[in-house]
Amino acid sequence: MMNIKTITIAAILAIGFTSTISFVNAAGHLKKAQANLDGIELPANYKDWKVISASHRTDNKSMRIILGNDIAVKAARDKQTNPWPDGAILGKLVWKQTTEKNWPTAIAPGEFIHAEFMIKDSKKYKANGTGWGWARWLGMEQKPYGDDKDLNQSCISCHTPVKGRDWVYTTPVTLP
């Protein structure tokens, strides 16, 4: 189990890395990530959002920083997350874990894997049974994830164990 110091250091390192994620085409021009099949677009300003939490998956050795828009951050700080309010957007940025070059006992973000977002709109997404819109963009190319056969179902299936937490695994950090 990671201690809070390791999580904090990992979060700081990862935030530094998020500012370096650019989506550049072969000609060197900045390009916009394509919307997913549900029409959900990569939030334009997510790199400016505040950190709500961090996590580390030991099964696949990945590090995650969980960000939130202003509505999500307010809900997290006010401990009003079950249910999360409509308009809340949670973003999860995921990297492969690597060993910190100058600190061999620490882990650090390596290769960027994907960005995932959950958009809370209990009316718009009522039909999927969760009240959330789900979206993922893969790699530095930010290729939308999903196809007509499985756009949201893999996300919903994965999150079913936390249905009673409004479908959200993230436990917001408590600040002093």
Residue 152's pLDDT band, with cuts at 50, 70 and 90, is confident
Domain annotation covers residue 48: yes
Residue 59, CA distances (Å) to 28, 47, 97, 154 in order: 36, 27, 11, 18
Taking CB atoms within 8 Å and a gap of at least 24, the contacts of 152-156 are 152/38, 152/128, 155/116, 156/128, 156/129, 156/130
The mean-pLDDT minimum among 36-40, 92-96, 148-152 falls in: 148-152
Q: Establish if 173 belongs to a structural domain.
A: no
Q: Which domain holds residue 136?
A: 4-165
Q: What mean pLDDT, rounded, does the chain reach? A: 85
Tally of domains in the chain: 1
Residue 175 lies in a domain: no
For 12, phi and psi rounded to 5 degrees? -65, -45
> Considering the domain boundaries, does residue 33 fall inside one?
yes
Could you tell me if residue 75 is inside a domain?
A: yes
Under 8 Å CB-to-CB from 21, ≥6 apart: which residues? 47, 93, 112, 140
Integer Cα distance of 51 and 68 in angstroms: 7
174 occurs within a structural domain: no
pLDDT class of 146 with cuts at 50, 70, 90: confident
Residues 47-71: tens digit of each pLDDT: 999 999 999 999 999 999 999 999 9
For the domain that residue 158 is a member of, what is the CATH number?
3.50.70
Enter the pTM of the model. 0.81
Which residues fall within 8 angstroms of residue 121, CB to CB, at 6 or more apart? 86, 87, 131, 132, 133
